[in-house]
Amino acid sequence: MSTTVTTHYDVAEHLRTPEEMAAYLEACLEEADGDAAFIAKALGDIARAKGMAQVARDAGLSRESLYKALSGERSPSFDTILKVIGALGLKLHAEVDGVPSREKA
């Protein structure tokens, strides 16, 4: 019986441009289904691709606290998320999701 050899896949190694990083975050936002830790992990992937030490400096956080906040094991504060998104050079935006809203009677 032959064995299959696998290697560890790290998405951060494939996020090379700001456009790829933004597309990855957008895809994660669509798939998150309200899971803030999932989004934090996606931001952590992008931060590692960009350089965690530099992102921490730009966000005004320590590198250690940034690793913890973006580990995917916890939901960081919205303040931290906003600082990281700014440090990554990304923007959040809102759009209508197409779900009909309740009309006032």
Question: What confidence score (pLDDT) does residue 97 get?
Answer: 77
Q: Domain ranges in the chain?
A: 15-87
Residue 20's contacts (CB-CB under 8 Å, 6 or more residues apart) are 14
What's the DSSP call for residue 48? H
What pTM was estimated for this model as a whole?
Answer: 0.84
Polymer length in residues for the chain: 105
pLDDT in tens, 43-73: 999 999 999 999 999 999 999 999 999 998 9
The pLDDT of 78-101, averaged and rounded, is: 88
Name which residue leads in pLDDT, 99 or 33. 33
Angle between helices 36-50 and 78-87 (to 10 degrees): 30
Please determine, for residue 41, whether its predicted confidence score (pLDDT) is greater than 70.
Answer: yes
Amino acid sitting at position 74 = R
* Average pLDDT for the chain: 91
Largest CA distance in the chain: 69
Q: Alpha helices, DSSP H only, in 1-105?
A: 18-31, 36-50, 52-59, 63-69, 78-87
